[in-house]
Amino acid sequence: MFLTRNLNNGIELGLNGLLVDKNDFSWDLGFNLAYIKNEVKNLPVQLIETGVASGQGLSGTRVQIITNGQPVGTFYGTVYQGLDANGISTYKKDANGVEVKEYLGSALPDFTYSLSTKLQYKKLDFSMFWYGTQGNKVYNNTANAIFIKGALDKGFNVTQEVLKSKENPSNSNAFSSRFIEDGSFIRLSNITLGYTFDTKSVEWLGNARLYVTGNNLLLFTKYTGFDPEVDVAAAANGVPSTGMDFTAYPKPTTFTIGVNIQF
């Protein structure tokens, strides 16, 4: 009897402190860092395929596997080595000249982190929250299916990079490491600025606070898609996938103005 295990080993560090605490001013700061190593063990088969790619020329292609000794969400495929003189993709080969497949990284990050802070000056308050990941991969299925020279040749809209590329319009858009990108990012998730009014002279009013909040204000990443924090459903035969991006709508930036009133 085999007992398949998905092992998670790691460490999490959380620090929170009141750095300044005076009559008219206070400053609270918090930091969290988590490192997790994931590994599949005792899988009774060589591998299980998942992560079904979408788009023309990719139907039925599986880009992700579950296998012993690797983390969940591991991408698997040929290793892209650039375009040849004719604009055709070249791939890593073995000693016999046969294209080889390799592990192309995991959608699971090496570590995650966050930073929160809150400042209070008299009746004015300010809070901010950042978070991010490092080391995770994203399959840019959108680029694989649409942002290629062949699509431009057929009259489809593409990115500026495709227009400048020396890729041959007849080049195959087969899945490879070409479309596996670094999904690491840092996001300014939230900023809130508020003011609490003095209501002592208003007998029926206990408290009144006016605030402005902005969500998803900044994103720093090398990922070429809209948003690296994406996970489009692409399961195969009920086996879930992760880190897939196909025409996903990015997180919106929103602003909210509100009033909290207590009687």
DSSP 8-class letter at 154:
T
pLDDT on residue 4: 62
Average predicted confidence (pLDDT) for the chain: 93
How many CA atoms, within 13 angstroms, populate the side-chain half-sphere of residue 114? 14
Six-digit token pair at 178?
């070409």
Q: Looking at residues 67-84, what average pLDDT do you find?
A: 96
Mean pLDDT of 66-88: 96
Q: Which of 162, 160, 142 is nearest to 150 (CA)?
A: 162
Percent of the chain with pLDDT over 90: 81
Question: For the segment 40-55, what is each residue's pLDDT rounded down to a tens digit?
Answer: 999 999 999 999 999 9
Strand 137-140: give its sheet, edge to edge.
180-182, 137-140, 244-245
Q: What is the DSSP letter of 93?
A: B
Residue 176 has pLDDT above 50, yes or no: yes
Q: What's the average model confidence in pLDDT over 191-214?
A: 84
Residue 201: what pLDDT?
A: 66
Three-state secondary structure call for residue 68: coil
Torsion of CA 154, 159, 163, 166, to 10 degrees: -100
Cβ partners under 8 Å of residue 232, min gap 6: 141, 244, 245, 246, 248
Helices (H), the chain: 141-145, 149-153, 160-164
Q: Cα 251 from chain centroid?
A: 11
Reply yes or no on whether the pLDDT at 263 is more than 80. Answer: no
Q: Does the pLDDT at position 233 exceed 50?
A: yes
pLDDT at site 260: 80
What's the average model confidence in pLDDT over 28-42?
95
Q: What is the pLDDT of residue 224?
A: 94
The whole-number average pLDDT for the span 168-196 is: 96
Residue 3 pLDDT exceeds 60:
no
CB 51, CB 131: distance < 8 Å: no
Residues 6 or more apart whose Cβ sits within 8 Å of residue 246: 53, 54, 55, 141, 142, 145, 232, 234
The answer to whether residue 262 scores a pLDDT higher than 90 is no
Output the pLDDT for position 1. 44
